[in-house]
Every structure is written in structure tokens, then in C-alpha cells.
């Protein structure tokens, strides 16, 4: 697959063709892109990202899968809870997220007593708020959204603060599609194992 990918990139007929003389600029652009990777960036720049990152993406997911295949999951973590925990203790070398991820991280706050809780939802936040039950602390029906962040952006910020790399993968390769469907689009390659 890697050889095939290379052939695609070097063939002017291919949709994945990258003009060689532009590659240094592209890589530099790619680096800046990942450093400031937010959902807005992802959406505006998605076509270019797909064109030049597909091979790298396949390699990365394959590496992630090899770690998962090892005894005790090797140096891998997946799913939001596990990855978030690993990120917070600085165990993540590379955070991997699917650009298909459509979730928000909310801070729910009781307007009466100040109780707060963080929640993740794939729902429309307005609907989520409407269905949210009474405050568990004061029982009042006063819990509202206090803060709302796209999960890609939120996890990227934690990663950045812990010196973890961030990689956004498309759903355009079989590997990228598998990553989204089987692992919920959130995974990590770890610096060290987390018990
Ligand atoms: Zn309350």
C-alpha cells in the first residue's frame, strides 16, 4: 500500500499528486496546521489535508493497530475516557482523531448553586441541555451550558499543554474508516503504558 501511495503522489494524473517542488512548503504548512488544529481549520483545509496525508495516515493507523494487537494493548489507548486519562497524565505521544468526529465537550453548570459537570455529547447541545435533569446538588431545574468546545479542539489543547503530538485522520482510507467505526475516532499512541 505504501508503494502504491507513492506512485499516486508522483503521478501527475493522480488526484493525490503533489508537485515535488512544493513539498517543503507543504510540509511546513502541514506542521503549522497540526499545531493549530481546530475544527474550523479542519473543515476549511480538508481537501488539501486528504491529498497529501493519506499515506501517512495509513501508516499511522497501521502502527496504532499493531500496538493494540500486542499483549495488554501495547502502547495504545482508544475511546474518549481512556485517551483523556492518558492525555492528562502526560502518557500520550500522539493523539489521533478522526475528522469525522462530531462531538462537543460541555461544561454544565447549575445557575442556582454553582454545581458543574463536564459532559461529552454527539447531540445538538441545545437538545442535550433541554433533556438534562435537575441539579444533583440543589435539585433545581437550573442546569445550563456554561461552556461548549468542539471535542477535537478541546483534546488538542490538552495534548498541546502536555507536549503530545496531534494527528487528524480522514475517513478516506480503509484504515481511517476502521479507526472511526471501531474506535470511535479517538485513539492514541502512548509514551508509556497506563495501568
Ligand atoms: Zn444546583
> DSSP letters along 91-116, please?
-EEEEEEETT---EEEEEEETTT--E
CATH code of the domain in which 67 resides: 3.30.1330.30
Instruction: Per residue of the chain (195 residues), give pLDDT as tens.
Output: 445 544 555 555 555 544 444 455 555 555 455 545 555 555 554 444 444 477 888 889 999 999 999 988 899 999 999 999 999 999 999 999 999 999 999 999 999 999 999 999 999 999 999 999 999 999 999 999 999 999 999 999 999 999 999 999 988 888 889 999 999 999 999 999 997
The answer to the question of residue 135 being in a domain is no
Give me the domain span that covers residue 45: 2-102+153-190
Evaluate whether residue 178 is within a structural domain: yes
Would you say residue 82 lies in a domain?
yes
Instruction: Determine, yes or no, domain membership for 33.
Output: yes
Q: What is the pLDDT of residue 2?
A: 47
Residues with CB under 5 A from ligand 1 (ion): 110, 112-113, 115, 135, 137-138
User: For residue 54, what pLDDT is reported?
Assistant: 78
- The answer to whether the CB of 85 falls within 8 A of the CB of 108 is no
Using the mean position of ligand 1's atoms as its centre, give its distance from the Cα of residue 130 in Å. 16
Q: How far apart are CA 18 and CA 195, in angstroms?
A: 42
Residue 46 lies in a domain: yes
Flag whether 84 is in a domain. yes
Domain count, the chain: 1
Evaluate whether residue 138 is within a structural domain: no
Closest CA relative to residue 187, chosen from 148, 154, 150, 155: 155
Is residue 75 one of the residues assigned to a domain? yes
Q: What is the Cα–Cα distance from 17 to 21, expressed in whole angstroms?
A: 12
pTM for the full predicted model: 0.71
Ligand 1: centre distance to CA 109 (Å): 8
Amino acid at each position: 500500500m505504501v508503494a502504491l501511495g507513492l506512485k499516486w503522489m508522483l503521478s501527475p494524473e493522480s488526484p493525490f499528486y503533489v508537485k515535488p517542488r512544493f513539498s517543503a512548503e507543504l510540509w511546513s504548512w502541514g506542521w503549522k496546521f497540526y499545531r493549530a488544529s481546530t475544527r474550523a481549520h479542519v473543515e476549511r483545509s480538508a481537501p488539501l489535508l486528504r491529498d497529501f496525508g493519506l499515506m501517512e495516515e495509513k501508516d499511522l493507523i497501521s502502527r496504532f493497530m499493531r500496538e493494540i494487537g500486542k499483549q495488554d494493548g501495547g502502547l495504545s489507548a482508544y475511546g474518549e475516557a481512556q485517551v483523556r486519562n492518558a492525555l492528562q497524565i502526560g502518557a500520550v505521544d500522539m493523539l489521533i482523531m478522526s475528522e469525522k468526529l462530531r462531538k462537543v465537550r460541555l461544561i454544565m453548570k447549575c445557575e442556582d448553586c454553582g454545581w458543574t459537570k463536564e459532559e461529552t455529547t454527539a447531540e445538538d447541545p441545545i437538545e442535550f441541555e433541554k433533556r438534562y435533569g435537575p441539579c444533583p446538588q440543589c435539585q433545581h431545574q437550573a442546569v445550563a451550558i456554561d461552556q461548549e468546545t468542539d471535542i477535537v479542539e478541546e483534546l488538542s489543547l490538552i495534548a498541546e499543554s502536555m507536549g503530545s503530538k496531534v494527528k487528524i485522520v480522514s475517513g478516506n482510507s480503509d484504515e481511517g474508516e476502521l479507526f472511526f467505526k471501531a474506535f470511535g475516532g479517538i485513539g492514541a499512541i502512548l509514551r508509556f503504558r497506563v495501568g
